[in-house]
Amino acid sequence: MSREAHVPFCEGLQGKFLRSTLPSMKEDQCQIYRGNAAEVLSGARKIALNMLRAETTRKISIPRKQKRAHGSTDYLEQVLTAGLKTLGDI
């Protein structure tokens, strides 16, 4: 089989397997190996990322929303409120 035969297959998969928590939450730099801690922390990161995405009053990037929530309790409250509202809609 030639290498060119796989190109259309690979191009069709682009964007389907992106790990969105990797760049914004620095998941690779975290070294936790005890018990189920890595799985629990991964779940917490996903919840936090979904809450940050649910907050739509400001059109800024996820890392910027993280910094803003870290520095301002008012903005953190907005993020938590938006996240919990989307959780209630499910």
Structural domain spans, the chain: 19-89
Residue 56 scores a pLDDT above 50: yes
pLDDT by residue (tens digit) across 7-17? Answer: 454 455 445 54
Q: How many other CB atoms are there within 10 angstroms of residue 71's CB atom?
A: 9
Residue 33 has pLDDT above 90, yes or no: no
Give the separation between CA 67 and CA 6, rounded to whole angstroms: 41
pLDDT at position 29 is 66
- In DSSP notation, 28-87 reads GG----STTHHHHHHHHHHHHHHHHHH--SS---HHHHHHHHHH-HHHHHHHHHHHHHHH
- Please choose, from the candidates 19, 28, 16, 71, the residue with its C-alpha nearest in 3D space to the C-alpha of residue 46: 19
